[in-house]
Amino acid sequence: MKNKLNFVLVVILLYFFVLPVQSQNLEELMFELPDIIFQEIEPTKEYGTTYKLKIKQPLDHFDLSKGHFYQKVFLTHRGFEQPIVMNTCGYDRSKDYIHELTKLLGANQLNIEHRYFGESIPDSLDYKYLNLTQITADLHYINQLFKKIYSGKWISTGISKGGSTTIFYRYFYPNDVDVSIPYVAPLTMGFEDKRIYTFLDTIGSKDCHNKIESLQINLFENREQVLPLLKFYSIGKELDFSYLTPEQAFEYAVLEYPFSFWQSGYSCDSIPDEEASINEIVEYFVNADILSLYSDESIDKYGSHYYQAATEMGYYGYDIDDFKEYIVSLPNDKNPHATFPPKNLDVKFDDTLLKKVNKWLINEGNKFIYIYGSIDTWSACAVKLSKNVDSKAFYLEGKNHYKARIKNMNEEERQEFISTLENWLSLDIEE
């Protein structure tokens, strides 16, 4: 009789303290969480119930007196016991979308806008609080909040700068998630990562290299004819140039062309040959839409990104060894750098964190799956796997920055990817 009463008591306790967590309404559970404002929105492709959240974050996680801001997050809900994917965006997130990992796993999803982008901006833009210590603390706080609701496996992922953020997040908070899957994520070796130059010198055929360089020289040598045509293009696109002069923007754009060419996977066959007219060359260059990267609109939009690159994340420059005679608007005594942080800021690069993270990944960076494209320029800065850790890397043949995705893996790669995830997450993945 006593054992029967004990059994009944256990059942009652389970009902009141465990089962309600699974059966309660999601909104009731979110009401119990601190610092969250939420509203249900139209779901993306009917995948699951979707909410737009504003999460109150400290400006300084280590000194709450500095104030706060609200970080925009999209939550897509499928089930309390399902896995949950944290998509760590590197920039703004204007609208929600369902990540391919989320669909593959039938998972819940947190789509997290980056601090100092989009709507996740403090009233006062004090850039000393835009650093990876604070950024990853934002992610950790969100993780800890929603672990009160979701009991499944946690996966963090991100694309490009968002993928790099995923790496840094795991470094600072190694126990927050079970697996990290950065896509096309660079991890630089310094302010100007010169591995980029080696990559650009060795990727593709000699003929393609010659065509790329020939186009650059053609643009430089005919700048007096090219610049007026680009001016008309700028007027049509309503682009302004005051941060850089139009001439500086032109030189930057021509130097940027090889990087963008391989990052975007342009075709060598589409490059105009030496017999092409100036109008044909400019039309091709305009369609590549590189000049707009150096407009006021673009520099303002990505000012926070440039600040991060110029202070602790590193970036790349432009090798001008073969073009010095053509550089007249930019300094030609050193490689121009591709960062444009907000003006009037005291910007100084510190590679301390990069060195620590690179060392940590070699010795402790377990349960990472890196996805890169073989022709993507950013693959020059890929994380190199170490025998000391249990992680995997996929280099998708012929894929660029925007095509290096699970859906574009060959069958062998896809099966290896899925079996690795199943093993690490103790899940059966149904395709």
Q: Is the pLDDT of residue 12 over 70?
A: no
pLDDT digits (tens, 9 = 90+) for 163-175: 999 999 999 999 9
CA distance 422 to 428: 6
Mean pLDDT (whole number) for 317-328:
95
Helical H runs in 149-194? 161-172
Percent of the chain with pLDDT over 90: 88
Superfamily of domain 25-190+353-425: Alpha/Beta hydrolase fold, catalytic domain (3.40.50.1820)
Sequence-ordered list of residues with C-beta below 8 angstroms from that of 25, at least 6 positions apart, any chain: none
CA distance 30 to 345: 39
The CA radius of gyration of the chain, in Å to the nearest whole number, is 24
- Please indicate whether residue 295 or residue 96 has the higher confidence score (pLDDT): 295
Q: Which residues pair with 36 in a beta bridge?
A: 55
Using an 8 Å Cβ cutoff, are 291 and 230 in contact?
yes
Q: Is the pLDDT of residue 302 over 70?
A: yes
The pLDDT value given to residue 346? 86
CA distance 142 to 177: 12
Helical H runs in 265-396? 278-287, 296-301, 303-308, 352-364
Is the alpha carbon torsion for 198, 204, 207, 211 positive or negative?
Answer: negative
Mean pLDDT (whole number) for 309-314:
97
Specify the length of the chain in residues.
Answer: 431
Question: Mean pLDDT in the chain?
Answer: 93
Both tokens of 237, joined, read: 């696109």
Percent of the chain with pLDDT over 70: 94
Using an 8 Å Cβ cutoff, are 121 and 59 in contact?
no
CATH 3.40.50.1820 residue ranges in the chain? 25-190+353-425
Sequence-ordered list of residues with C-beta below 8 angstroms from that of 374, at least 6 positions apart, any chain: 395, 396, 397, 398, 399
Give the Cα-Cα-Cα angle 368, 369, 370 (nearest 5 degrees): 110
- Please indicate whether residue 177 or residue 236 has the higher confidence score (pLDDT): 177
pLDDT digits (tens, 9 = 90+) for 52-93: 999 999 999 999 999 999 999 999 999 999 999 999 999 999
Is the alpha carbon torsion for 206, 290, 294, 304 positive or negative?
Answer: negative
The reported pTM is: 0.92
pLDDT digits (tens, 9 = 90+) for 204-253: 999 999 999 999 999 999 999 999 999 999 999 999 999 999 999 999 99
The pLDDT value given to residue 125? 87
CA distance 186 to 46: 33
Secondary structure tally for the chain: helices H, strands E = 15, 9
Burial pattern 268-282, b for ≥16 Cβ within 10 A else e, equals eeebbeeeeeeeebb
> What phi and psi, each to the nearest 5 degrees, are found at residue 424?
-70, -35
The pLDDT value given to residue 370? 98
SS3 127: helix
Residue 21 — very low, low, confident or very high, per pLDDT cuts 50/70/90?
very low
Residue 284 has a CB neighbour count (10 Å cut-off) of: 15
The pLDDT value given to residue 373? 98
SS3 70: strand
The pLDDT value given to residue 24? 56
CA distance 283 to 118: 32
Read off the amino acid at residue 43: P
The pLDDT value given to residue 10? 39
pLDDT digits (tens, 9 = 90+) for 105-134: 999 999 999 999 999 999 988 999 999 999
Residue 11 — very low, low, confident or very high, per pLDDT cuts 50/70/90?
very low
